[in-house]
Structure 1
């Protein structure tokens, strides 16, 4: 049963007003009350009001009594800690209410239940109380409540709670002394409530409870104090500050196992706390924990949601700001180990990404400039390897605003931050200008991006840093998987030009690269070739003897890798070994003439010319055959056009100059002296006289006539290129067939003519109109030769038969008017093309 003072305390303002009127009427007596009520509005009204007040008070008292009876009954049935805390949990939301009377009712219920449990001899207190820390924290915080009555009741609840714990420890305690002696002892130990300095009570309470608390329960007190910061109540803020300070300064050793939970709680609440003082209290906990449990705090921060948002970023900044230099070194070493993890081995692609993002936050602070230099080589290589992991395995699985993101972008950002933090401004600018970031994030070009970074660093970086990287790479190449090895090798071969590289033991340099020529990974083989070529000038290194092995290692390489490797090998080609290698290289280069990449085609054609130039006469027969196999493709590529109009002019000049160079070297090797006009950049469809002269020369050249089947080989090469995906090459090959057949005349066999005719017939149905028209004109020339052979009009010399009907038809076909007005097949092919488009 509540006393009158307690009832007054817990009643709301409206109830207090009614109670005031009721008390006044009781003191003045019925007559005075009647006269007073009469003056205020009538006797009946006042008696009615008095009756209403009595009913309200009776209802309130009955409600309080009923609730207490209900709680007592529930707790009597299950006299254990679990039931007690289950009941308290239902009232807990009102402990933080903004209304004083609601907080008072809630704490009064807390005290009632705790008193019943403490004075009930049959109540069982479990050894590990599940929410003891939460309860202690709530009551300690209420000691600072602006309502003194609430603070007094909270203190009383702590007395009963301490009694329960003491009874658990002292099983021989007499049951008849529980209510008096134990309460007085708890009051003496915990101290008397001091409304002026309640924080002293909190300090004493935590001190006395601490021996009875587990690590989890102590963490619950801390988390409860932090949770109350969301209420933005200055009294609660002061209490939270007191509790967190006491725990961090005196009892931090009990929080080791709970660090992840504490860090996660702080992260979750930062978004709902706006007062600077409150945020400072919360973030100070992070810095205190880090001084003792740096690894645990770091790992807990890495487990925060990724990508790092502004709240976790704020936690990282505070952590760095409050760390000493030695602690900062420990922190970056922990993060570095996370970045060095192999996602393929662990299956965890997220942890290295989070660690890289954390490095972005750390290295962007001025305080970390020195520590950045300390970890620079190791972190640089770790980030480059992580870039390769992520682009090779296309890791997607985390969404930002419902949109997929590129994981590799976070690692590249960390790489950029690292370069800027160690003042590699020149390297950063060059890589940005040369599109090095795009190379690094391309699966095909990653090793090229790494090589670009290494070459740029050789030009301007601090030499001591490069030495550190070089000596780091020596053991780095001995371990790791494919991505690890490719990245390390790409950097290593660029550093071989350093004088310090010559001091490396042979097993770590020359022998390692020699073994790499047999590696199953084509990129590794290409990088080993580049490294060995760099070592060609080293004293005592007979790299030329490895030319046959290098040539063999070219097998299976991608077109661009092949071209780059050949360009490296070309630097050391010499002697008999070089001549043997050229035969194998030129044969492979021919296969790249039709590569779908313009840069690969151009490089392959140019290197073919250089290989021919280097070829020795003792391989003349083999090289001659290879040149004859490449003659028509080289002529056709003179007609290649760039599809990009904006780059057409520069491309035309560079590409065609390489094709022209290869043709001229081929003619020089064969000993041919063709007319200058046949090696021309002019388009055949505009200057048919050039194509006419070219075919005339190929047919009439004595050296070609000596080669049995050479013209037939040219014919088949032209047929092959009619299937080219490049429109300009396709048209040029069709025109070449028509003029070549015309000049071959009677020397071309019936079977070959039929094959050419069937090929052109199929091309007359091509969806591209220019191909259809070109095929129709070529077909006319083939029909002319077929007609001539059918009528028995054969001639051994095309020039001597210049007045024949076939030659007249050829000359007429060169003129634009004749093209438009003769040839029935032209009209037929246009009709076919129109019908194909309609269908």
Structure 2
């Protein structure tokens, strides 16, 4: 700076003693010691001359102290102590003395704050609004020029500095109840904004974050009854819009500006929008009637937006929470409800977290925040639906939003559900959500108990004082209690269900008993609960599918639930079958067994009932569903797990008593062909169950139902049944099962009405042998009256001899069955098979002998059987057959020689 120019400036502002120094003797009686010292310091430093940096700071601090005194006085006036104009000139010298290359000078900043403080100090009465005193006019102009100069940085306005000015001025506008102060504040802001409009390039525009607060404040004052305030507010709002349009238009996506709310959405950031709403709501709550009207009208225009993209959601919610009861105006209440509703839809996580936080801190009463939520239209339903989804399908880490602070954890969602269930005014809504909430909370408990804690690290602090399992369990109890199941809760408590549910070892026992209790107590939500379980199982991502299957196994026992089971639900269940998972497969078998229990699901019209009475099967719903499960059940028979195979056959044994030939012939036929592969199982227990199943099936067969595949399979297993009269397991031959009273005749034609018990429940003590009983049953079905007597009393050799004599046309078929039994793991069965094969071959004619090359080869191989009795019997049989060849007369020489050569080769 030019020294001469600088000197001129200093001379221009040099001070000389005025009349105030000589005549004005202010009263200092009301001042404390520090304030008196500040006043004296001002007097000392107002003398002309250069001051050091420390002295400048002391002077500025003294001015600030004295300004505070004047501001706190009822009719305070700085001129009573020292003229504001002279103080402002003195401070201006400090600013001009600071070098222009250092813009962040501490002295300049402190001087600027002092000027602003002086600017809004009260002054004495004047004939006009601004006062006709030239010094007042000059002071206003000087302060405006000074503020405008201070916001300039590098030849362009610095919006960050402007914001700091406005944050100091705004309280004088908003908090003051004096019209003159409000007009002065609006005028200063308006002139500053007008000054900014003259520049095309602004710096630090992104840091200018009070646009929303300014817009909302100006908009409210535009409807002020004072014409001067209204005009100043409109002028300030006008300049603010010009700045926003000129300098933010290029930063945002183009959008047609038609209404105020479109300007609100287009030119304001989320923070600024929140400021607009907060300022308007504060005006509605704390302002005058005029402010309430203006703010309400402005918010109605803004809320035309379907979604509010704002920040500061907790502040808005807290404002509503703490002041909603004070509002009596219906229009204002509706406006606030609209704001809350939009926030619930668009910022659900933040709303819930804020309500929980206020609930923890509030002393107003239990669950007050959730009662407020329930009072807003659709608020309860929207949040409950959202919380439900948060529990059922928590977001994966990669799907979560960047702002993790507002991410709702599963535990927090569970707590929020618990709080909402306690709202007494929402009992009817709870009924609507019972099924989905019940399933979601049960899944939540299963995940925590069986899989352990899977919570993210930032959630772990929540569990320090709260046990997630206990909290989820309490929410489930509250749900049932709120839904009117008080008696159910007592019954469940008696069964010890809650303790089982939280036990990792017995959790699924608890799930089973919980489902059973709903069936026993005839819970009226059983159908919706079933439907929601099926809905969740539609997703292959359901991690709690096993819990669902365990629960559904018991729930299907409910007649009401069984009545709504359809093909879609059955296929969804079948899709979860996994033979490789033993627990899942066993659960699936239980579900299949339950499917056969409900005869009320078999629906027949009048025509079908007529056919049924005549003995003709009419397919029902149950059998159609069982047909869907059939392939999965039979697949279990071939599992690598011996436990699963055994349980599968036991289940088949149990369900046969509920199946009739009329409605399940296809399944029974496939089962018979499946059994063929298990009659020779090494496991004696499994072999016994297989024979019992076969006996139970034949008990359902009559002459009328003996179709070709069944007849063929019965004959194909005939030799096997006879030979198993030599089974090493005595239970297979002579199993003594429970019987009914002696004398009851055993019926071989069991119809659908009398198929309630397994076959061994209706046996007479006189017929204890399983295989012998099956043979007698077959003889009855095939009308073999003579053989039936032999089957009932004779030994295995007599039976085979009689069978060979009566059914000569089937000798080659019997031979093939014998050969198949050469591989039996039981030595006694192989012995009888070799003996019977020898008998058959002995009785073959020459033409038949030519058809048994493979059988001869298998028979010859039996000479190497590890059982010495079997191998010795085979050798002896070959000798006998060879001796037979020697005594048979030759009828045709040519063929005789050929045949004798073939025969010698066979027996060697």
Short-chain TM bin: 0.3 to 0.5
Larger Rg: 2
- TM-score normalized by structure 1? 0.47
TM-score (norm 2): 0.44
